[in-house]
Structure 1
Amino acid sequence: MFSRQIGLSLLALTLTANAATLVVDPNNPQGWTYGKSLTSDGSVKLVVGPDIPPLGSGSLNLNSGTDGSLLTYAGINSYDGLLLSDLQGLSYSTYGTSWNGAQLTYLKIWIDWNGDGTSDDALYFEPEYQRPDYSNLIPNQGAPVLDQWQTWNVFAGGFWTDFDFGPGANVNTLSNYLALHPNAKLATDKDYGAIRFTVGAASPGDVFNAYIDNVTITFSGNSTTFDFEGVPEPGSWALMGAGLALLMQRIRSQK
């Protein structure tokens, strides 16, 4: 029993040593870049809130602008070129205040089949499709809703792709995709990285306003969680300053 406890303790230490949380703020992008379609009036920005985010006090806001058919996105290139089979975990949290009735921020992963770096396919994870209403191959992660933080297990979820699996009832698992493409890698030819979070690509009249936080990516035992943090608005700083001044006044009066 004693040796088993030692073994479990060492395992816990190993997992802890290979796990890191990185704060993404305006001065520390941590490999993240942001973009949008050329004619889009959408925006991507680090903000405080909304509500109580999963980590810290902020999140990354993606707004589609007035044309929901155009794209607004955030991507990271730190994992470009890695084998898809080495992916061991991927999850993220969402919050939405405006949508088309179903679509929250979705994840797109550009895939290279033959090792030349060029994208040959793409995997799409949409929160709407992550329940048995669509496929009995995946766990029930519930329906997406507005005005509430929800966390999505991408690694265990269902995907559609450009070639092999369709959306909706045809989503399939990552393991089944790897069975078809065992040598698949994350592509290296995308300016904003192979892993990209997006709003848009819907009807022109749709308006999306969404937030992401708590993005965790694990490759080959190395896990990184990204905590997106914004800078408080000037009004918030003023309130904080007033509160601090009042506190200092009380301390001085007690001396």
Structure 2
Amino acid sequence: MSKLLGAVALAMAASAANAQTVYNTSLAPLNTATATTTTGATGTQTSSSAPSNARDTASAGNGVWFQSDVGGGATVGITTDYAHDGNGSALFETTGTSAKADLEFLFAQPLALSDLTSISYDYYRDASSTTMATLAPVMRLDISKDGLWAGSLVFENYYQQGGNAVVGDWTTVTATLDSGVIWATNSALGPKNAAADGGEKTFAEWLAGNSGHDLTVTGMSVGVGSGWTGSFKGAVDDVNVNFANGPHASYNFEVASVPEPASWAMMLGGFGLVGGMMRRRRSAIRFA
């Protein structure tokens, strides 16, 4: 059974969210000199062979999930590898310190951070992962300050429980405006990178530290990597975000049905039979 972190009220809020299914077929192809997107029976995934810190990002659009910052030998996609709440989930793999991969979502319009009521996501860490035992996929909110890009506020499992990530089981991580430990990627918001001098705060505390300024949420992402030694393999599903004035959304990653090889053979055989019948009918027509 998944280990639940947070209050029961958060789970109730998440269940009331507007559930949206994100299919693998909705991911835009990302094909460059260093990134390749493929779709097969298990789903869609994008893999990168980019060296060092080179990154590739799929075409971005408001209101859709897309592959972002994929590089250094990482893989991201929506597959059946770790089925959860359906037949699929968002797959993440890294192979070394240069690897990085996200799935990102841009809101149609900026949302006031002060209106945030809760966020949550489910993660899975495969036992084959060799990176630090504390590491698991994270969730980020992209922040603008007075209309200017100000980095991201990062929500991850480690700072909530202060221990190793759960292995081989799905785990739900939750936070509200006033609960949960969040850190910043940019000093425009305050102490960054979970600094010991006040870099671990609730969303409400980040707002208080930027009093007099307008903090808005322009997008969100889930992802792995960037400096992770060793390898990681795991997944994310059921990403929830709730704002007082909307949206109240829950995103479930699934794989669209793909016929099995035997089914494809039957379908092709059927098409051939229909074609043969049509040819025979045409040959039987005679004109006076």
TM-score normalised by L of structure 2: 0.62
Structure 2 stretches lacking a partner, 5+ long:
1-12, 28-62, 265-288
SS at match of 2:143: strand
Deviations 1:105-148 (A, max 9, x none): 01222211112xx31232111211102x5xxxxxxxx7521111
- What is the CA deviation profile of residues 21-49 of structure 1, one whole-angstrom value per residue up to 9, with x for unaligned ones? 111112345610013345x2211111115
d(CA) in 2 for partners of 1:181, 1:37: 31
> How has the CA–CA distance of structure 1 residues 109 and 222 changed in structure 2, closer, same or farther, with 3 Å as cutoff?
closer
Q: How do residues 97-108 of structure 1 correspond to structure 2 at under 5 angstroms?
A: 97=126, 98=129, 99-108=131-140
Does residue 173 of structure 2 align to residue 152 of structure 1? yes
Give how far 1:19 is off: 3.3
Could you list the runs of 5+ residues in structure 1 that have no partner in the other structure? 1-14, 134-141, 188-193, 242-255
Q: Which of 33, 39, 50 is the matching residue for 2:66?
A: 33
Q: Is 1:197 the counterpart of 2:230 in the alignment?
A: no
Please give the residue correspondences for 1:162-241 in structure 2 after superposition, counting only pairs within 5 Å. Answer: 162-163=186-187, 164-165=190-191, 166-167=193-194, 170-182=199-211, 183-187=214-218, 194-203=219-228, 205-219=229-243, 220-231=245-256, 237=260
Tell me the C-alpha RMSD between the 2 structures.
2.8
After superposition, the Cα gap between the structure-2 partners of 1:231 and 1:100, relative to the gap in structure 1 and judged at 3 Å, is farther
Q: Deviations over 1:71-102 (max 9, x none)?
A: 11100002652111111121000001123211
Could you tell me how far apart the structure 2 residues matched to 1:95 and 1:240 are?
Answer: 32
CA 1:112–1:222: 2 relative to 1, 3 Å: closer
The separation in 2 between residues aligned to 1:168 and 1:149, in whole angstroms, is: 29
**Whose Rg is larger?**
2
Deviation at 1:179, TM superposition (A): 1.1
* Aligned length in residues: 202
Contact 1:93 1:150 in 2 (8 A): yes
Deviations 1:161-193 (A, max 9, x none): 132245276411111111122520124xxxxxx
For 2:111, give the aligned amino acid.
Answer: L
* 2:87 is aligned with 1:57: yes
SS in 1 for 2:206: helix
CA contact (8 A) 2:24 2:253 kept: no
Distance 1:154-1:80 versus aligned 2 partners, 3 A rule: farther
| Distance change in 2, residues 1:202/1:233 (3 Å) | farther
Aligned partners of 2:145, 2:160: CA distance in 1, in Å? Answer: 25
Q: Which amino acid aligns with 1:144?
A: A
Q: Distance in 1 between matches of 2:207 and 2:65?
A: 26
1:125 equivalent in alignment to 2:155: yes
More strand by share: 2
Higher RCO (Cα < 8 Å, 6 or more apart): 1
Amino acid of the structure 2 residue aligned with 1:102: T
Percent identity between the aligned chains? Answer: 22
Cα deviation code 1:190-221 (max 9, x no counterpart) = xxxx3111211124x42121200011111224
